[in-house]
Structure 1
Amino acid sequence: MFSKACEYALKATIYIAQQSLQQKRVNVKDVANSVDAPIAFTAKILQQLCRENILESNRGKQGGFIFEIEKQKQIRIYDVVRIMDGDSIFTNCGLGLHKCSELNPCPVHDDFKKVRENLIFMTQKYSFYDLAIKTENGLAWLK
């Protein structure tokens, strides 16, 4: 459903949030290994998330990526999906038709509308803090 870049971004952001709960900064290699992603691709994704003010990074010996806890509580899955994939997953036709609408519906329009609504609800429901706590407590996994 999401692009591979978006999937990696979500998992990486959850991992960094979890580590940030423990006041730990993590480097790109640790993040990539923790979410089974290529290092170079992970670096590019993390740079984008830093440019969008989701994550913070510092260079040097005490450097690495961190996700401030107050930001974790505000940022939702929805926000990262929109950054990585745009909002088309929340608005476009399930069959990829360009002129699908209430007045000109595709064969799955009504059913897919419900799927989109549920996806919007789910992605707006969870903050990264919620997800970090779940993984921290062993209630969810990233691999």
Structure 2
Amino acid sequence: MFSKTCEYGIRAAIFIASESYQNKRSGLKDIANKIDSPEAFTAKIMQTLTKNKLIDSVKGVGGGFEIPKERMASIKLSELVDALEGDRVFRGCGLGLANCSEEHPCPMHDKFKSIRNELTHMLETTTLEELALGIKSGDTFLRY
């Protein structure tokens, strides 16, 4: 459903948020290791998330990536997905066809439309804080 960039970006944001709850900053190597992502690829994702002001980057000794606790409750998954993939997930065709529309539907259009709408709703109503708290409590995981 999501690109690898988006999958890794969501995982990274959740990991950073869970670490930020413990007043810790996360370094690039640690993030890549914890989310099982190549380090160079993770670096590009972090640049995108930082540029879009979803994650903060602190330079120097003791630096790393963090998300202020007060911001976590307002960051929706839809913002992460939009920053990493654009609106393709929210508006795109299930078969990837450029000209699929209500007026000119692909064979999957009507069936995929309801799935896309449910996915959009979930992404727009789920906060980063909600997912980070699951990691923090041990109820959920990012990697075996």
TM bucket (normalised to shorter chain) is: over 0.9
CA-to-aligned-CA distance 1:27-86 (integer Å, 9 cap, x gap): 101101100011111111111111111111112212111111121111111111111111
Letter in 1 for 2:124: Q
Structure 1 CA distance, aligned partners of 2:37 and 2:99?
Answer: 36
1:79 is paired with a residue of what secondary structure? Answer: helix
- Matched residue, 1:66: 66
Superposed counterparts of 1:40-51, under 5 Å: 40-51=40-51
- Matched residue, 1:76: 76
Structure 1 CA distance, aligned partners of 2:84 and 2:14?
Answer: 15
RMSD: 1.0
Runs of 4+ in 1 over 4 A off after TM superposition: none
2:73 is paired with a residue of what secondary structure? Answer: helix
For normalisation by structure 1, the TM-score amounts to 0.95
Q: CA deviation at 1:97?
A: 2.4
Structure 1 CA distance, aligned partners of 2:58 and 2:28?
Answer: 12
Letter in 1 for 2:13: T
- Matched residue, 1:96: 96
Unaligned runs of 5+ in 1: none
For normalisation by structure 2, the TM-score amounts to 0.94
Unaligned runs of 5+ in 2: none
Q: Which is worse superposed, 93-102 or 39-48? A: 93-102
Structure 1 CA distance, aligned partners of 2:58 and 2:98?
Answer: 43
Structure 2 CA distance, aligned partners of 1:2 and 1:92?
Answer: 12
Q: CA deviation at 1:125?
A: 1.7
Structure 2 CA distance, aligned partners of 1:10 and 1:98?
Answer: 26
